[in-house]
Amino acid sequence: MPSRCRTIVDADGRPVAIACSRGPHKACATPGCRNHADKQCDFPVTRSGRPGTCDRFICSKCAVRVGPDLDHCPPHARAKAAP
């Protein structure tokens, strides 16, 4: 199985590392999107009474940035924006 590599960039867009994997790429969970998911949703949730994050796999185009290294999936971004 061939390895898959991607370049990790810092906030200024400069390459800082290369990450390789032999596993399959995760697809973006946004309906209709077929991009490679390179982020996970950081929206706070509670699972079995314990705090955590949504962790839905999303691509950079679908992710809504809410802070430094914090991204929400489109459904959670809409929910947060609703009054």
Give tens-digit pLDDT for 67-81. Answer: 999 999 999 999 887
pLDDT at 21: 75
pTM: 0.68
Q: Kindly state the average pLDDT of the residues 31-41.
A: 93
Indicate the domain borders of the chain: 4-81
What are the CB-based long-range contacts (under 8 Å, 24+) for 58-65?
Answer: 58/28, 58/29, 58/30, 59/28, 59/30, 59/33, 59/35, 60/35, 61/28, 61/33, 61/35, 62/28, 62/30, 62/33, 62/35, 63/39
Higher per-residue pLDDT: 34 or 1: 34
Q: Kindly state the average pLDDT of the residues 3-11.
A: 81
Q: Kindly state the average pLDDT of the residues 11-23.
A: 84
Average pLDDT, the chain: 89
